Amino acid sequence: MEGIATLCTCGSSCSTRPRRCENGETYEKIDFYGRVGVREMIVAHPHERRVELFRALGGRLVPVQPGAEGELTSEVLGIVLRTVDGKLEISWSGGSATV
């Protein structure tokens, strides 16, 4: 495989192993991915059914602030992510899914 990944996804174990999260193992990777040119990074919190989205800005990945209804829009994937009634909703042009 050659080239730079456009999107990176990581799972966080913060809700099951808080000590690990304090050290920021998942979050330590953000700077690395930003330096190598990743355009977006999604950090999934599966136990909470929510995600965080980071987007490239000036060679760094920075947190994307949710919209008025808590939605996060991935420009890379063309999807909208949000938590609704404790479930993760993923929507795109012409469809949606809830997990």
Burial (0-12, 13-18, 19+ Cβ within 10 Å), 35: exposed
pTM of structure:
0.79
Determine, yes or no, domain membership for 2.
Answer: no
Give domain status of residue 1, yes or no. no
Domain that includes residue 11, residue range: 7-98
How many structural domains is the chain composed of?
1
> What's the pLDDT score for residue 2?
60
* Tens-digit pLDDT profile for residues 40-63: 999 888 888 888 999 999 989 999
